[in-house]
Amino acid sequence: MSEKLPQQPQNEEVDLGQLFNAIGKIFEKLFNFIASIFKAILSAFVYVVKPLVENFKLVSIVLILIAILGYVYENFKEPVYYSDMVVKPHFDSKYQLSNNIDYFNSLVGSKNVVELSNIFEIDTLKAKELVSFKLEAGPETQTDLFTEYDEYVMSVDTSVVDELSYKEFIDNRDRDLLSRSLFSVTVKSYKRDVFSDLEAGFKKTFVNDHSKQKKKVRDTMAFIERETFLSELASLERIQKTYLEVLKSESEKSKLSLATGSGLPLQEEKTETKEYELFLKEQEIRRALNLLNITVAEENTYFEILSDFDKMGHRDKSLTRRYSILFPTLALFLFILGFLLVKAFNFIKNHD
C-alpha cells in the first residue's frame, strides 16, 4: 500500500516565489541607493581634490612657504599665558559669577582698562594685558557625581526619581553649565605674572543681593534649628535629673527598710525609668546639632576657592595660537574655495 505525500497547490508556490522576488528587488534597490550615495560622496571628494593633485608641486611649495611664515609669526608674536582657578559657589552665587565673566569679556573687548583696574584692584598697565575670561565646568570624580545624584534623589518626590535615571540626570546636567557645583575660571593674559593679583577682584564680585538674602535666610533657619536642639537637650537633662532623684529616693527607702530589721518582707514597686532611651535620644540630637554646625561652618562664605590661580601662567599653545598650522589650513581652504567658485562661474557663464 503506497502513501502519497500531500502536495501544495501550484498557485501557492507561485505566490511565494513572487513574494521572494519582490523582497529581493526591494533589497537590491536599497543597496543601489546606498551605493549611489557613497559614489556621489566619492565623486565630490575627487572633484575637490583633483586640482590639488594636478597642481601638487605648486600647492606643496606654497603651503610650505606659508607654514614657515606662520611659524615665524608664531614665534615673533607676543605670547599669551593662561591660568585656572577652581571655585565652588554657594547661595546661587554661580549666576553672578557667570554674569561677571561675560561682563569682564565685554570690558576687555571695549578696552575699558580703567573699569578692569577698579574691579580687580590692579593698575591700568596690568589691566591692559588681559586677553579673555572663560567659565567652564570644574573637575569632578565619579564619587562626586554619585553624591550629587543621591542628594537630588533625597530632595525630590519618589515619582520624579523613577522618571529620571542616573544616566539621564548626568546627561541633562552636562547640557547646562550652571547646573554644576564646581567651576573652572580660565584667564588669559599677555603678562605672565598677573593672575595672582586677580583673586581679590574675583572675591568681591561673587556677591549680589539674591545671594545675600539667601545666606541670611539660611543663617536664620540654622539659628532657629540650633535653638530648638538646645531646648530639647535642656529638657532631656531635666528629665534625666528627675529620674536620678527618683532612683536616689528609692535607694534611700530600701536602705531604711533594711535598717528597721522588720521580719516582714517588704515588697516595693520600683519606678520604671528610661535612662537608655533618653541617652539614645540625646546622642541623636547632638549628632544633628553637630551636623548643622558643620554645614554652617563649611558654607559660611559665598564661594570657596579650591584651587588658586598660579603665580606664573602657562603659555597658551592651543590650536588657535598655532599659526604654523592655521595659515596653511586657511590657504588650502581658500585655494579649494577659489577653484569651486571659478568652476561655478564658468558653468553659469557657459550655461545656455
Please write the tens of the pLDDT for every residue from 303-340: 788 888 888 888 887 777 777 788 888 888 888 888 87
Residue 35 has pLDDT above 50, yes or no: yes
Q: Is 211 exposed, middle or buried (0-12, 13-18, 19+ CB in 10 A)?
A: buried
Residue 147 has pLDDT above 60, yes or no: yes
- Tell me what pLDDT residue 10 has: 54
Reported residue count of the chain is: 352
| Residue 300: strand, helix, or coil | coil
Domain boundaries, the chain: 82-208, 209-245+273-301
Residue 127 has pLDDT above 80, yes or no: yes
> What residues form DSSP beta bridges with 134?
186
More confident site: 21 or 6 = 21
CA distances from 109 to 44, 169, 321 (A): 41, 37, 18
Q: Is 89 exposed, middle or buried (0-12, 13-18, 19+ CB in 10 A)?
A: buried
pTM over 0.75: no
Q: Which three cell numbers stand for residue 178?
A: 550652571
CA distances from 341 to 106, 337, 338, 344, 348 (A): 37, 6, 5, 5, 10
Confidence grade of residue 274 (pLDDT, cut at 50, 70, 90): low
Q: Up-side HSE of residue 311: CA atoms within 13 Å toward CB?
A: 0
Q: Is 235 exposed, middle or buried (0-12, 13-18, 19+ CB in 10 A)?
A: exposed
- Distance of alpha carbon 188 from alpha carbon 317, whole angstroms: 12
Q: Which helix (H) or strand (E) covers residue 71, if one does? A: helix 56-76
- Distance of alpha carbon 15 from alpha carbon 9, whole angstroms: 10
Q: Which three cell numbers stand for residue 147?
A: 553624591
- Tell me what pLDDT residue 105 has: 92
